[in-house]
């Protein structure tokens, strides 16, 4: 039995048939903010934002009190503070978030070995084999919520269903701090009244396309003739939406994740115009991507450059290599060639991103000769030096600026970027 309150929140409150619902989706509630409130309990009940405040900082997380003002993650902090001027803004503490994430994931793994983390604050669980020891799926979900609260002080919302897709939708409906079980026999009844935005793959643009042809709910999509849906959104998306709208999702919970791409991007505190500054940033990002590739034992066949101009136009360009690489010099050269096609004199650049795609394990290719052998050896030597003396001990000379600075003032980078003070430089005169 479930109930729906005055908002869209829907939770299970009594006995329910969970016999065919082995998939759980667990999502921590306002995770970053919740961790911060453990340290600042005086801020409970107040609108709280986590994110950058300088220049073009963005909201990493918002408390539910702040969300009532129309604030959400990824929103520019300046816009968020216009909507919610009384919000308290806290800087992110990613070390704490990672520590709590490991603790929460450890609780999941004590229940079932079939845990598929999606991000730092959410995961799928398959509890098919855990029933004898821990009870029914609904009982397991209840136990997880109680243990997470008791052991970490945090709350989570859980969806319980027959498939991953429905479980994820259910957890979002149960937020905050709730549990919703969708019996397998009631899957269609649950899905069809929901807006089309509840379907995976439907963003703002796709939603507008579906609305233009009269499709406003998941049920509308399910009932639309397939050929008409295909004409509206294309064959690939039509096939996926049709399956999901009818509750079909055959994917299993996978305990290992294969990275599809590795990338870094940077939004600057002020637009860059100087070509030297732009290429210096491109080199820094290319180097970060290459380091992560080597740490993961991967190489990438495609290099993608992302640019956002001062007027917010965003473009990407991809280049496929003859041989996959984990060498920063090769990644930089390809991204630099793409950059030359996109940035003219006086062009203002707001964001740069570099990404390696089409990844595979390093050493699995069939190269007869390696054109980047010398550069690869040099970069791996630097990897060993930085492992011993710390990131920043050695890096391309081009990245060393007077006073040890190495990125545009006021810039905001993705959380994976390290920023130690420079101590020395290698002779990479790129």
Cis? peptide before 215, omega within 30° of 0: no
Token duo for residue 337 = 């060639």
Q: Name every residue whose Cβ is closer than 8 Å to that of residue 124 and which is 6 or more positions away in sequence.
A: 23, 24, 25, 115, 116, 118, 164, 167, 168, 253
- Tell me the C-alpha to C-alpha distance, in Å, between residue 428 and each of 23, 42, 207, 332, 378: 51, 50, 48, 12, 10
With H, G, I as helix, E, B as strand and everything else as coil, classify residue 228. helix
How many residues are recorded in the chain?
430
Do 162 and 152 form a contact (C-beta atoms < 8 A)?
no
> Which of 122, 281, 334, 379 is an active site residue?
122
- Cα(338)–Cα(343) distance, integer angstroms: 9
Helical H segments across 225-342, by residue range: 226-233, 235-245, 275-296, 328-342
CA atoms within 13 A on the CB side of 60: 24
According to the annotation, is 121 in a ligand binding site? Answer: yes
405 is catalytic: no
- Cα(362)–Cα(381) distance, integer angstroms: 17
- Cα(10)–Cα(2) distance, integer angstroms: 7
Q: Residues at the annotated binding site for Mg(2+)? A: 27, 121
Known binding residues are 27, 121
The residues annotated as belonging to the active site are 122
């Amino acid at each position: 039995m479930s109930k729906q309150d005055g908002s869209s929140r829907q939770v299970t409150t009594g006995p329910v048939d969970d016999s065919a619902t082995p998939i759980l989706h667990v999502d921590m509630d306002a995770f970053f903010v919740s961790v911060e409130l453990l340290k600042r309990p005086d801020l409970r009940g107040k609108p709280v934002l986590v994110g950058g405040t300088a220049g073009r900082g963005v909201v990493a997380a918002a408390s539910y009190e702040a969300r009532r003002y129309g604030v959400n993650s990824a929103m520019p902090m300046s816009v968020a503070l216009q909507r919610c001027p009384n919000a308290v803004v806290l800087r992110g503490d990613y070390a704490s978030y990672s520590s709590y994430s490991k603790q929460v994931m450890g609780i999941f793994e004590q229940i079932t070995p079939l845990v598929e983390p999606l991000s730092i604050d959410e995961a799928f669980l398959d509890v098919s084999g855990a029933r004898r020891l821990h009870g029914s799926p609904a009982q397991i979900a209840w136990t997880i919520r109680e243990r997470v609260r008791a052991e970490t002080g945090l709350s989570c919302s859980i969806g319980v269903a027959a498939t991953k897709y429905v479980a994820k939708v259910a957890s979002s409906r149960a937020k905050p701090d709730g549990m919703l079980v969708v019996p397998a026999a009631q899957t269609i009844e649950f899905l069809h009244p929901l807006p089309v935005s509840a379907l995976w793959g439907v963003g703002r643009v796709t939603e507008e396309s579906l609305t233009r042809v009269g499709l406003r709910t998941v049920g509308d999509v399910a009932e639309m003739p397939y050929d008409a849906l295909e004409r509206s959104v294309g064959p690939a998306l039509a096939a996926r939406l049709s399956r999901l709208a009818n509750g079909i999702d055959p994917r299993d919970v996978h305990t290992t994740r294969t990275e599809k791409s590795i990338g870094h991007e940077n939004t600057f505190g002020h637009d860059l115009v100087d070509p030297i500054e732009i290429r210096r940033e491109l080199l820094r990002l290319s180097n970060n991507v290459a380091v992560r590739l080597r740490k993961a034992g991967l190489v990438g066949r495609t290099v993608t450059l992302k640019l956002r101009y001062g007027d917010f136009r965003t473009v990407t360009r991809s280049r496929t290599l003859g041989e996959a690489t984990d060498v920063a010099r090769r990644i930089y050269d390809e991204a630099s060639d793409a950059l030359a096609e996109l940035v003219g004199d006086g062009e203002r650049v707001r964001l740069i991103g570099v990404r390696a795609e089409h990844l595979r394990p390093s050493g699995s290719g069939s190269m007869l000769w390696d054109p980047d052998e010398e550069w690869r050896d040099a970069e791996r030597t630097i990897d060993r030096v930085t492992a011993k003396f710390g990131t920043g001990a050695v890096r391309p000379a081009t990245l060393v600026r007077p006073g040890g600075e190495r990125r545009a003032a006021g810039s905001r980078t993705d959380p994976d970027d390290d920023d130690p003070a420079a101590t020395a430089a290698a002779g990479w005169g790129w």
